[in-house]
Copies of this chain bind each other. A is one copy, B any other.
Amino acid sequence: MARTVRLRLTLAYLGTRFCGWQVQPEARTVQGCLEEVVSRMMGRQVRVQGASRTDAGVHALGQVAHFDIPEEKAALPWQRALNAQLPRDVSVLEVRRASQAFHSRFSPSRKTYSYTLWVEEHYVLPQRRPLVWPLRPLDLEAMRESAAILQGEHDFAAFQNVGTPVRDTVRTIYEIRFEQGLHPCEVRILFTGNGFLKQMVRNMVGALVCAGKNLFPPGHVGTLLEGRDRSQVPETAPAQGLCLERIEYGPAHDGPEDECTPTD
């Protein structure tokens, strides 16, 4: 059998018009668009694996995906060819060769998501609307205190929505950081962890926003965690504020591998 080469992609997309990452019949998905282009180029069905199955409406600046191609196709100008054929709401930021041991989804990794709040009640800039959750000004100190409780290793069962069953609901959040967003009316919250349950970031944001509206007594987020009861946690924050920022695989996979990106 012919030798194959594994390619690793970094992708950005605007989630607005996608029904999420994962291929679904009759739905426009990022994985579906990618597989269509790669399969057409290779003349056979190619499966593209992604690191995170982002939901409908969720954006990405650093999704990672991989697929295998016959070795003789490795020298194609992959980035240029993919970007020329993909729709305008998805872009390939980088293509590199990966070892066969690399798997975008199962290789150990740290993931960072951002969630952007618009905290000016009188208007939302149309230029920023597709990427933010519009709210009133919030008590950021109360939000930071609640976020500190969520950091660390916990059972996040209370923050998981119904989806594919998972073996366990313990995850570690290394950091929850607040910063100003691109516009002065924006607050950006960055969540870095070893993995996230279904809609866990959006459920944490829903709870942090309740804290920011001073609807929770101090420490209430800890009570929610301990209760492990999804029905006690506020509504899931809307998809359009969420963005998959970055996936890190550690030194085994993040070293300087063969670049396939053409320099032109």
Interface residues, chain A, with chain B CB atoms under 8 Å away: 12-14, 59, 61, 79-80, 83, 88-93, 121-127, 129, 131, 182, 261, 264
Contact = CB atoms under 8 A, between A and B. Distances in A.
Contact of A126 (B90, B123, B124, B125): B90
Contacts of A88: 126, 129
Contacts of A80: 122
21 contacts: A12-B123, A12-B125, A14-B127, A59-B127, A61-B125, A79-B122, A80-B122, A83-B122, A88-B129, A89-B129, A90-B126, A91-B123, A91-B124, A91-B125, A91-B126, A93-B122, A93-B123, A121-B264, A122-B261, A122-B264, A127-B131
A14 B131 contact: no
The residue in A12, A89, A127 that gathers the most chain B C-beta atoms within 10 A of its C-beta is: A127
A123 B88 CA distance: 10
B126 A12 contact: yes
Given A79-B122, A89-B126, A91-B123, 11 more contacts: A12-B123, A12-B125, A14-B126, A83-B122, A89-B129, A90-B126, A91-B126, A93-B122, A121-B264, A127-B131, A182-B182
